[in-house]
Amino acid sequence: MGEANRVNFYGLSLLELEEYLLRHDFKKFHAGQIFEWVYQKRMIDPEHMTNLSKCLRTFLNDTFSFSLLEIQTIHESEDQTKKYLFKLEDGHLIESVLMRHDYGNSVCVTSQVGCNMGCAFCASGLAKKVRNLSLEELVGQVVAIGTNEQIRVSHVVVMGTGEPFDNYEAIVRFIALINHDKGLAIGQRHITVSTAGIVPKIMAYANEPIRSNLAISLHAPNDQLRTRLMPINKSYPIRKILEATDYYFSKTSRRVTFEYVLLKGVNDQKEHIDQLAKLMKGRNAYVNVIPYNVVKEFAFLPTDNAQAMIFVDGLMKQGIQATLRKEQGSDIAAACGQLRRRWDSKNPDDCD
């Protein structure tokens, strides 16, 4: 069977693989063995899966594709952050980011080719959404980076290009697969999904069995300003988002993170501190204050570090848990809001 006609292994859950094997007269327990070979031992050649019968190894070799995403370029930051540019089978390009921390290796995963959110400060929305990524393309980002670097990926953040909850079904399947103990075995508390605030999907996510971290891209403390910065606020204003996150907390008992990018003179003043503190008051919430990374197409400027610390301290003095995020990879346009499917190192700001 040609490569194009094979089933992509990374697009199957354990249950789906069990059912597939049963339909072809194999035992379902073999699915767990195969998952362990591929996800935990990084073995993608069935001939070396020594606890499987010769017949099953031949079947796997003839039926499944274990090919990893095609790496186009890798850019490395001064802080050892790496940005991967992957080429998909249809020729589209996506970016993923590897961040190294004291507590482990984290991969920032892209959920869509392009993005339709249109946030006024974010490079990712410059190229509009083309399509959602499939399960195998989501999983493939993590597996390809882990394999290429020969490391264990211990944390995943779905914060790359795209709106994860606009690709809801694939994201839920992705999280379940990378969390599975026979899959990549990444702990639920080591997985974070960030959304611009699609309220019905936040409500749905609260009822999923998975208990990953949830982050909300807020970026403004009032509707007038947030609508200016994030058009999605017209459909899902702050009040609706807070109602949804309150519901999420009631169902999961998990604290919600609110992300807040500081834009000089726009959302970083004393009145913004007070308005944001009022929104957060009484909620089991955490504010992740993020330095802005300049995008040449936009006029926004970053808040200076002194004012950023005043912003964080102002929240904390009002009883709101907040920290200033340490940015990584800004020198290679791999930091928050900078991903744009760069493809040519000689023209690093071009989109495909």
Alpha-helical regions (H) of the chain: 14-23, 29-35, 54-63, 135-149, 168-179, 199-206, 223-229, 238-252, 270-280, 305-317
Q: How far apart are CA 266 and CA 270, in angstroms?
A: 11
Given the residues 108, 119, 122, 336, the one annotated as active site:
336
Q: Are 258 and 215 in contact (CB under 8 A)?
A: yes
Which residue reads 């394999």 in tokens?
147
Q: How far apart are CA 210 and CA 183, in angstroms?
A: 15
Comparing CA positions, the residue from 252, 314, 253 lying closest to residue 278 is 314
CA atoms within 13 A on the CB side of 148: 22
The string of DSSP letters for 226-289 reads HHHH-GGGGTS-HHHHHHHHHHHHHHH-PPEEEEEEEBTTTS-SHHHHHHHHHHHTTS-EEEEE
| Exposure string over 87-115, b if 16+ CB within 10 A, otherwise e | bbeeebbbbbbbbbeeeebbbbbbbbbbb
Given the residues 95, 137, 163, 259, the one annotated as active site:
95
Q: Catalytic site residue 336? A: yes
| Count of C-beta atoms within a 10 Å radius of residue 225 | 18
Q: How far is CA 193 from the centre of its chain?
A: 6
Q: What are the backbone angles phi and psi of residue 5, rounded to the nearest 5°? A: -95, 0
| Structure tokens given for 340 | 């744009």
| Structure tokens given for 189 | 């508390």
> What residues are annotated to the active site?
95, 336
